[in-house]
Amino acid sequence: MKFVGIVGSNAEQSYNRMLLQFIQSHFKQKFELELLEITEIPMFNQDVDASDNFNLRFVYNKVSRADGVIIATPEHNHTIPVALKSLLEWLSFDLHPFEGKPVMIVGASYYDQGSSRAQLQLRQILDAPGVNAYVLPGNEFLLGKAKEAFDAAGNITNAGTVKFLELCLDNFVKYVGVVSTLKKPKPLEPEDLYVTKPIATTIEGIDPDDPDWVEKAAAVTNAVSGNTYVKLDHGILTVDQIDMFLKSMPFELTYADDNNQFLYYNNAHQDPNSMLAKRVPEQSGNRLGTVHSSLPPQRMKNVEWVIASLRSGNEEYVRTMIPGDHTKLINTHNYQAMYYPNGNYGGINEIVFNFKPWLDWYLQQTGQRLVSANSSAVPTDAATGASTNSSAPEADASTGASASHHSAPVSDTTADADTGASSH
């Protein structure tokens, strides 16, 4: 599970930040927790359009895609801090990421009450129209005398306090699981597969379907190549090193941007007929509608479903497995949503690989073998471990997607969502 933790204070030194940091490190085996700061959130003013404010959009996107939210609030004059209240005002005005979102409240304060009155007020706010969060009932974690509660390394020193915190967090994990069954997916908007509206990164003046798009686009943009250095998030590489790095990946990688333009794949040197998902150099730059032009209408709907589900945030990734001879090949496709720095949807990266060698290696190294899910004599698929009994999830009639989470539509000739190449 992926949670976000909102630090309810904009102070440089905050015991509520320390509390979330302790939860993040001490309980990392239970869930993933990303901390969100509110220091740069503007004061709420309904007359100001802040929908494009980077920091507000960032928090909105993170909360929207999280499985659950943990808010740590201090207590100022028996209430929550004005900075936290301002954030919640923004996120219940035009933006509503807390709608149906599981939320847990924790708090630390200097005194014995442990932010009890602020927590009570916060529960009322989160239950208000426009917010409509699902707040975990009970399980009130109130960390009093916060100055004495932590050691120099930021750990809570009292073992009983840590044990109670773990109990509350375990209950929240269960609560998130229950609430997730009530979640209604966002309605999917129609996808523009023909790149009719340029975005900031669209290279204009060249037909996306031009087979020489890469060379022409490179000339127009003066794109760097060779030994030119590129500064990345955590390193500096030359263009040649980046190219070599991507080509050496034991996967077939593709990227289509948020405007549904197919921009890149990493195996242009490889014979297309030997690829798990056939691609050709002339496809780089193509509109996804062009890439998929040979597909029948129902298959095109599957492609649109994958893209729209990732764009809307209903899914963070979609996985599918191409039917075939699973004794030799498990052709697996993973479609992963990517995000710009402010958290907005930034397109799809796709990984295609044969899962069979990885599975065989793992079983050999661990001395395990695949068995039926229920230890009875139910036949098991040797490659996937999937039971063949009648309890398998039924497929959705409109998309072919099974009821299991993150499962993509599959047919006998499932197409790669970015390229439209069928694998029989």
Run means of pLDDT, 10 residues per run, the chain, 424 residues: 97 96 97 97 93 93 97 95 96 94 96 90 96 96 94 96 98 97 90 95 96 96 96 96 95 97 90 91 96 91 96 94 84 96 96 94 94 58 40 34 43 42 36
Residue 264 backbone zone (phi > 0: left; psi -120 to 50: alpha; other: beta): beta
Per-residue pLDDT at 364: 95
Per-residue pLDDT at 328: 85
Tell me if 265 sits within 8 A of 279, measured CB to CB: yes
Per-residue pLDDT at 326: 79
Interhelix angle 116-126/82-90, nearest 10 degrees: 10
Q: Both tokens of residue 211?
A: 């087979």
pLDDT tens-digit map of 243-278: 999 999 999 999 999 999 999 999 877 888 899 999
Tell me if 310 sits within 8 A of 65, measured CB to CB: no
CA of residue 361 relative to chain centroid, distance: 28
Tell me if 99 sits within 8 A of 123, measured CB to CB: no
pLDDT tens-digit map of 33-45: 999 999 999 999 9
Q: Both tokens of residue 47?
A: 């007359």
Tell me if 60 sits within 8 A of 34, measured CB to CB: no
Per-residue pLDDT at 376: 53
Entry pTM: 0.81
Domains and CATH numbers, the chain: 2-180 (3.40.50.360), 193-424 (3.30.450.20)
